[in-house]
């Protein structure tokens, strides 16, 4: 039986009727239509479905949408503002940390979560923070450089 | 990957959850963080008709330290354990286990009860918990019982729990005096690794430089369940701590291991590593004991 749930996604409220067996990743992509959240392995190993749920990064493929009822979610689409790209997004573009782009949303959200808590994160902390996000193209070096160079720009909004 | 259909229940009290589990028994599965359950349901390994969420039950949350006990609620996540001062100060081995579980994303979801109940031979929290003699508090409509984790695991995925029981919390008696604890995990990579071998060690000393009054050595990933190495504990008991003693305890632990051969490593390699990691874990535990 469908259940009515209420999600705050990127500061917008959505009321959606969902079957209990739909994951948060599915609902974000298919009901809400925000396809920046990717689906890769679907079993928590690749991190392409990363979202920030009540302030914490999670694999949205492992969360039932009904369990996210009443919660606040930030997806990659919520980072860009009227002023333009978020500094982490900008840095990824400038440093060539984006290739095929499939892992990028998750990488950036993991990076944001790290830098929000620890703006001075060193390389080891950066590598550890993105260790749940797999990338097949870049070899990680440029991604790490992109994240490291954001912190030199001072605090992030 | 589609999840099979199921009915979803969201009790807000433990007694309500027990009532649902008592009524539905094998047809229902509790869900805490979901990192095991959802993966197994997606892979079609289990198909419960009902899923009972524990996430809205406030009594299952939080880490409490009082009256010499540490109580960790069923729904406390690995990230919360890793970030808890109360755990870090007195239960460093458990903090170490929580810090190496999965990835940051998994640690934000994975709970202590899910890690214990899923009874994976390589799970990261049971060995340190067993090293402290932690107990699992189990509840069903007919009442509550508490089981030493050293008697809890039966086989991969199998525990002493009844199908209608809920694990409500893990309770550890805070060790006193000069004790040291540690957890070492060996994997092929740093993150996301099913360990090849893991070892948790606990020792307490009689006085700051006295003999070992109590020792616990728990081996993970080298048997169908975590194994308490009685032989290693026999080697250590009553003896003055020393490098050669720890090496002998390591050899004894290797004898208690029941490792398998697979693509990650041979049984022989794993057995050798039990000896090495046991020695290292004991050394680290001794260092901690010295600073208490
Ligand atoms: C990508 C990935 C990497 C992982 N890496 C590791 C790792 O490195 N180390 C490690 O130890 N584990 C690892 N795991 C396994 C898993 O994340 C952990 O075992 C986790 O702690 C399970 O907790 P959970 O809350 O998600 O469990 P759930 O999936 O919610 O539950 C697991 C099982 O326990 C039952 N259950 C849960 N809570 C209760 C309760 N209170 N009472 C009764 N039954 C209950 C459920 O019905 C289910 O059968 C990994 C998993 C994934 C997907």
What is the distance in angstroms between the Cα of B58 and the nearest Cα belonging to chain A? 15
CA distance between the termini of chain B: 51
What's the pLDDT at B189?
67
What's the pLDDT at A74?
98
Q: Residues A108-132: pLDDT tens digits?
A: 999 999 999 999 999 999 999 999 9
Q: How far is the CA of A137 from the centre of ligand 1 (A)?
A: 30
What's the pLDDT at B30?
98
Asked if residue A89 lies in contact with residue B59, where contact means CB atoms within 8 angstroms, the answer is no
- A98 has a chain B CB within 8 A of its CB: no
Residue ranges of chain B whose CB lies within 8 Å of a chain A CB: 1-8, 10, 31, 33-35, 38-39, 42-43, 51, 53, 55, 79, 102-106, 108-109, 190-192
Q: Residues B210-254: pLDDT tens digits?
A: 899 999 999 999 999 999 999 999 999 999 999 999 999 999 999
What is the distance in angstroms between the Cα of B137 and the nearest Cα belonging to chain A? 25
Question: If pLDDT is split at 50, 70 and 90, which confidence band does A153 have?
Answer: low
Subunit contact A110:B38, Cβ cutoff 8 A: no
- Residue located nearest, by CA, to atom 5 of ligand 1: B102
In terms of CA atoms, which chain A residue is nearest residue B34?
A62
What's the pLDDT at B1?
87
Subunit contact B4:A19, Cβ cutoff 8 A: no
Instruction: For residue B46, give the ligand 1 atom closest to its CA.
Output: 49
Query: Which residues in chain B have their CB less than 8 angstroms from residue A62's CB?
Result: 33-35, 38-39, 109
Classified as helix, coil or strand, A60 is: helix
> How far is residue A114's CA from residue A119's CA, in Å, rounded to a whole number?
7
**DSSP-assigned letters across all residues of A90-149:** HHHHHTT--SS-TTHHHHHHHHHHHHHH-TT--HHHHHHHTTT---SSS-SHHHHHHHHH
> How far is residue B109's CA from residue A44's CA, in Å, rounded to a whole number?
11
Decide if pLDDT at A155 tops 90.
no
pLDDT, chain A, mean: 95
Query: Which residues in chain B have their CB less than 8 angstroms from residue A43's CB?
Result: 1, 39, 42-43
Instruction: For residue B138, give the ligand 1 atom closest to its CA.
Output: 42
Question: If pLDDT is split at 50, 70 and 90, which confidence band does A151 have?
Answer: low
What is the distance in angstroms between the Cα of A117 and the nearest Cα belonging to chain B? 13
Mean pLDDT of A9-14: 98
What's the pLDDT at A154?
56
- A129 has a chain B CB within 8 A of its CB: yes
Mean pLDDT of B62-89: 96
**Which of B79, B104, B118 maximizes ligand 1 atoms within 8 Å of its Cβ, making it the mutation to test the pocket?**
B118
What's the pLDDT at B20?
98
Backbone angles phi, psi at B243, to 5 degrees: -60, -50
| Phi-psi map region of B9: left, alpha, beta (phi>0 left; psi -120 to 50 alpha) | beta
Q: How far is the CA of B284 from the centre of ligand 1 (A)?
A: 28
What is the distance in angstroms between the Cα of B53 and the nearest Cα belonging to chain A? 8
Q: Residues B111-155: pLDDT tens digits?
A: 999 999 999 999 999 999 999 999 999 999 999 999 999 999 999
Instruction: For residue B125, give the ligand 1 atom closest to its CA.
Output: 11
What's the pLDDT at B53?
98
Q: Give the mutation candidate from B104, B192, B193 for the A interface (greatest A CB count, under 10 A).
A: B104
Instruction: For residue A62, give the ligand 1 atom closest to its CA.
Output: 53
Query: Which residues in chain B have their CB less than 8 angstroms from residue A20's CB?
Result: 5-8, 51
User: How many C-alpha atoms does B214 have within 13 Å on its Cβ side?
Assistant: 12
Reported for A78-87, long-range contacts at CB under 8 A and 24+ positions apart, including other chains, are A78/A9, A78/A10, A78/A11, A79/A108, A79/A109, A79/A112, A81/A157, A86/A112, A86/A156, A86/A157, A87/A150, A87/A153, A87/A156, A87/A157
- Residue located nearest, by CA, to atom 25 of ligand 1: B33
**CA quadruple B166, B167, B168, B171: dihedral, nearest 10:** 160
Tell me the torsion sign for CA atoms A100, A105, A106, A111. positive
Subunit contact A21:B5, Cβ cutoff 8 A: yes
């Amino acid at each position: 039986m469908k259940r009515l749930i209420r999600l705050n996604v990127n500061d917008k409220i959505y009321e959606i009727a969902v079957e209990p067996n739909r994951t948060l990743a599915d609902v974000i992509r298919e009901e809400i239509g925000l396809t920046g959240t990717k689906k890769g392995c679907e079993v928590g190993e690749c991190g392409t479905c990363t979202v920030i749920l009540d302030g914490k990064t999670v694999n949205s493929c492992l969360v039932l949408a009904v369990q996210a009822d009443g919660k606040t979610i930030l997806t990659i689409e919520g980072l860009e503002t009227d002023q333009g790209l978020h500094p982490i997004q900008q840095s990824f573009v400038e440093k060539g940390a984006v290739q095929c782009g499939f892992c990028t949303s998750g990488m950036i959200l993991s990076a944001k979560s790290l830098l929000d808590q620890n703006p001075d994160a060193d390389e080891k902390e950066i590598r550890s923070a993105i260790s749940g996000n797999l990338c097949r193209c870049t070899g990680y070096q440029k991604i790490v450089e992109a994240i490291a160079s954001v912190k030199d720009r001072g605090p992030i909004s | 990957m589609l999840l099979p259909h199921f009915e979803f229940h969201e009790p807000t009290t433990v007694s309500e959850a027990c009532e649902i589990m008592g009524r539905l028994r094998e047809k229902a599965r509790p869900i805490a963080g979901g990192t095991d359950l959802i993966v197994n349901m997606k892979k079609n390994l289990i198909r419960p008709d009902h899923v009972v969420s524990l996430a809205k039950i406030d009594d299952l949350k939080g880490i409490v330290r009082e009256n010499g006990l540490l109580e960790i609620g069923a729904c406390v996540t690995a990230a919360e354990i890793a970030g808890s001062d109360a755990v870090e100060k007195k239960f460093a081995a458990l903090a170490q286990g929580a810090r190496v579980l999965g990835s940051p994303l998994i640690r934000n979801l994975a709970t202590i009860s899910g890690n214990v109940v899923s009874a994976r031979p390589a799970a990261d929290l049971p060995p340190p918990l067993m090293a402290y003699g932690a107990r699992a508090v189990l509840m069903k409509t007919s009442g509550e019982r508490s089981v030493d984790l050293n008697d809890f695991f039966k086989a991969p995925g199998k525990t002493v729990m009844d199908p209608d029981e809920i694990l409500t919390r893990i309770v550890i008696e805070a060790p006193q005096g000069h004790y040291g604890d540690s957890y070492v995990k060996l994997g092929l990579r740093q993150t996301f690794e099913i360990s090849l071998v893991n070892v948790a060690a606990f020792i307490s000393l009689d006085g700051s430089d006295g003999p070992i009054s109590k020792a616990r050595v728990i081996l993970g990933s080298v048997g169908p369940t975590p194994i308490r190495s009685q032989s290693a504990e026999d080697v250590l008991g009553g003896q003055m701590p020393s490098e050669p003693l720890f090496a002998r305890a390591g050899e004894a632990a290797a004898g208690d291991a029941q490792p398998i051969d697979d693509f990650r490593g041979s049984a022989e390699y794993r057995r050798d590593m039990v000896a090495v990691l046991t020695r290292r874990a004991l050394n680290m535990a001794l260092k901690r004991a010295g600073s208490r």
